Amino acid sequence: MITPLASIIGSGFLVLGPILNDSFGMFAPLMLLVLCGVAYLFGRAIRFNIAELNNGTPRPVLAERLETLSSWLLSFAYFISVAYYLNLLGAFGMRLTPWNTPLNARLLTTAVFLFILLIGWTRGFKALERLEEYSVGTKLAIIAGL
């Protein structure tokens, strides 16, 4: 249940807000409202699909194959998203130190990635979920501090 919240906070508040502000200035809140409307429509489509799945009628083979393909594509997109955020972490994390070089930023990114990989490999998904809870708590604390 934490994953969607982490994604919303990461993409919505920490990344999208400043981008919209730079791009649209005083109209950024209006554009954010438009994006929320689009997100609501996506949610409506998802709710419709869930209701259709629960009505008991068999699904066409094409729908089953598209669902499998979309699951793989979503997994790939999530991997890219995590890599992107880890790169941002490396860049911003090193900016706060006297060792601010592109190589050190990549080394920090790699170290965090290896840490996540090690936790997942040795302790499983439950431990990763616990790390994610700490991450969301930290993000919420940063937001509250702003």
Rounded CA-CA distance 16/116 in Å is 25
Q: Which of 10, 28, 57 marks a domain boundary?
A: 57
**Residues 36, 71 within the same domain:** no
**Residues 50, 90 within the same domain:** no
Of 83, 92, 71, nearest to 14 by C-alpha is: 92
Whether the per-residue pLDDT at 26 is higher than 90: the answer is: yes
**Residues 66, 14 within the same domain:** no
Q: How far, in Å, are 12, 17, 43, 75 from residue 38 at the CA level?
A: 13, 16, 9, 22
Q: How far, in Å, are 37, 83, 146 from residue 17 at the CA level?
A: 16, 20, 13
Question: Residue 97 in 3-state DSSP?
Answer: coil
Residue numbers of the domain that contains 16? 1-57
**Residues 10, 72 within the same domain:** no
Question: What is the pLDDT at residue 7?
Answer: 64
Of the segments 19-23, 24-28, 39-43, 74-78, which one has the largest average pLDDT value?
24-28
Question: What is the pLDDT at residue 10?
Answer: 64
Instruction: Count structural domains, the chain.
Output: 2
Tens digit of pLDDT for each residue in 38-51? 988 988 988 888 88
